[in-house]
Structure 1
Amino acid sequence: VYYGENLPEKADAINGFLKEAAAELKEKGAIVSADIFAIVCESPGDTEGIGQVLERVGMDIDYISPMIYPSHYANDSRGMMGNGVGQSINGIVFTAPDLKPYEVVYNVLEKTKDRISKVENYKADVRPYIQGFTASYLPKGYYQVYGPEQIKEQIKAVYDSGFEEWIVWDAGNNYIEDAFKKD
């Protein structure tokens, strides 16, 4: 999409692109999805300044995929990802979010569901990314080894919040088969 000299706001540009791309791709029978930062599910409007507004991004596409990685939320340390306070998600402050995979994913999705339920004609379904890696870059005591249990907790949170699909992400593509076996 070329806007010429009159550049739109970031959110207008992103949503304009998604609308145009979805129209063209759907003519070919494609399903259209957009990955979004999970923080926009908590933040009203475009407070992050990245152009992703939850209430707008899913109007013309089939899926949104918020990247809900507990390790990526602020913790109460003064180290990596630390802000001295932690992260408020759905009104709950998490001081070490990586240690609470179920609670983080569940609360992000509950907030997401509540917000998009208030938007008339919101089209996109939610298919979140969940964390499949160990965030050993976080300070000691603020991360845990992510194995089958932590991945299963996140999958349960997706289902418990009323959604049916999820994507596990690990940058190294190292996935633990036991995480996907039914108990």
Structure 2
Amino acid sequence: MTAVLPAPSSLALRPPAILDVEASGFGRGSYPIEVGFVEPAGAVFCSLIQPEPDWQHWDPSAELVHGISRDILQRHGKPPGWVAAQINERLAGQTVYCDAWAHDYPWLARLFDSVDMVPAFHLQDLRCLLSEAEAACWHVVREQVRDELQLVRHRASSDARVLQTAWLRLKTRAGS
């Protein structure tokens, strides 16, 4: 007996895992302070990260964007080893996408290096999943989604949800 597969148009669109990182600032010396992601099935993970003793860089303008102070990190952040282990456990074997690979990759590398761990997932730029036409609409659609979701906080898991929802909207439009 031969299995009959549904037509491609009737298959549910499965979104990719999307990750976002908030950091102490940009450039040399900056480090991750929060990691959040949304899995393909919609489960969300987010954690603040306690800074390592040698993580001293702090950019007040970055704090104005994400609203996370060093005091909040010290009081509510989780140890870097715990955060890295959680990320690996939940994303093992997956390709995970982000919209700021040039920043997110070094910040994740700093997190994992600080605890002598290696990521169990592959981080890729979200742009590689977009056609040229979709990429041209990306910023507009992303901001529409952000407005519709009425997110008041610029935080890692919220940003990941916005990115995943915008990707789904673009792909749904492309399929219709």
TM-score (norm 2): 0.30
- Structure of higher RCO (CA pairs closer than 8 Å, 6+ residues apart): 2
Quick check: which one's helix share is greater?
2
